[in-house]
């Protein structure tokens, strides 16, 4: 079916559908309405699917790894559209994804699943504020125990420790503390599933989920 056909079918299968919004959005994206969906690029098909969902004016949008098959530009454009829907239209979004770097841009709450269990759950800002990366001598990596150590990455000379600590916590002599990215934090908890962090619930969710293979983020 063409994009026009998809709009027609979706409009007739739903009680609420904003035809003008859908046609305007596809026009702004340069997606030809008469072109068969099978002839559209991966990014265009993803944007068409998102348009069909948003034109129903939902309060909640559930996205099941929507960018897995997209190139970096298409992925960026898709996530920007999701962020716009969240901020401008007030849509709540539950998103599962392999792509951790994308989650930091759009997620205000993170749930990390690995080996069938929740490893991390909390507001993203709070999780990032309560973790630091310490860099220091590899020979002293086992001596740091003031705060819980989530994961240790050790080289011959230098070690990197991801720890549960804030910027106000003291740094051991000879060590440096750095902020942690959401990707670093998630990977650390995937590699060390015993160090769970489980605060209370919040409003927005993003969900990397494990397929059962160790140390791998999957939907």
Mean pLDDT of 98-114: 81
For the cut 60, the answer to whether the pLDDT of residue 67 exceeds it is: yes
Domains identified in the chain and CATH numbers: 3-96 (3.40.50.300), 109-207 (no CATH)
Task: Determine the Cα–Cα distance for residues 218 and 150; give it in Å rounded to an integer.
Answer: 21
Tell which wins on pLDDT, 192 or 169: 169
For the cut 70, the answer to whether the pLDDT of residue 73 exceeds it is: yes
For the cut 50, the answer to whether the pLDDT of residue 51 exceeds it is: yes
For the cut 60, the answer to whether the pLDDT of residue 164 exceeds it is: yes
Q: What pLDDT band is residue 140 in, cutting at 50, 70 and 90?
A: confident
For the cut 90, the answer to whether the pLDDT of residue 14 exceeds it is: yes
- Give me the sheet containing 117-123, strands edge to edge: 60-64, 92-96, 205-207, 109-114, 117-123
Altogether, the residues listed in the chain come to a count of: 219
Tell which wins on pLDDT, 2 or 69: 2
For the cut 90, the answer to whether the pLDDT of residue 149 exceeds it is: no
Q: What pLDDT band is residue 214 in, cutting at 50, 70 and 90?
A: very low
Residue 218 buriedness (CB in 10 A; 0-12 / 13-18 / 19+): middle
For the cut 90, the answer to whether the pLDDT of residue 54 exceeds it is: yes
For the cut 50, the answer to whether the pLDDT of residue 94 exceeds it is: yes
Between vectors from CA 216 to CA 198 and to CA 61, what angle results, nearest 5°? 65
Mean pLDDT of 76-87: 87
State the DSSP string of 5-45.
Answer: HHHHHHHHH-S---HHHHHHHHHHTT--TTSBGGGS-HHHH
Between vectors from CA 32 to CA 19 and to CA 68, what angle results, nearest 5°? 90
- Mean pLDDT, the chain, rounded, equals 82
Dihedral sign computed on CA atoms, order 44, 47, 51, 53: positive
How do residues 186-207 score in pLDDT, each as one tens digit? 888 888 766 555 554 333 334 3
User: DSSP strand E in the chain: where?
Assistant: 60-64, 92-96, 109-114, 117-123, 131-137, 149-154, 158-164, 176-179, 205-207
């Amino acid at each position: 079916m063409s994009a026009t056909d998809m709009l027609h079918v979706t409009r007739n299968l739903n009680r609420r559908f904003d035809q003008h919004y859908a046609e305007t959005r596809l026009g702004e994206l340069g997606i030809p309405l008469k072109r068969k969906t099978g002839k559209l690029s991966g990014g265009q098909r993803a944007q068409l699917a998102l348009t069909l969902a948003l034109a129903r004016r939902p309060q909640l949008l559930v996205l099941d790894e929507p960018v897995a098959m997209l190139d970096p530009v298409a992925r960026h454009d898709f996530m920007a559209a999701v962020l716009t829907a969240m901020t401008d239209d007030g849509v709540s979004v539950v998103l599962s994804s392999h792509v951790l770097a994308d989650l930091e841009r759009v997620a205000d709450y993170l749930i990390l699943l690995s080996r069938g269990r929740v490893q991390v759950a909390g507001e993203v800002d709070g999780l990032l504020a309560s973790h630091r990366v310490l860099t220091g001598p590899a020979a002293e990596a086992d001596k740091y125990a003031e705060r819980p150590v989530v994961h240790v990455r050790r080289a011959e000379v230098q070690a990197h420790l991801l720890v549960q600590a804030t910027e106000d916590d003291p740094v051991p002599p000879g060590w440096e503390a750095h902020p942690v990215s959401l990707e670093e934090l998630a990977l650390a908890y995937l590699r060390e599933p015993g160090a769970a962090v489980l605060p209370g619930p919040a409003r927005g969710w993003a969900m990397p989920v494990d397929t059962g293979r160790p140390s791998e983020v999957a939907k």
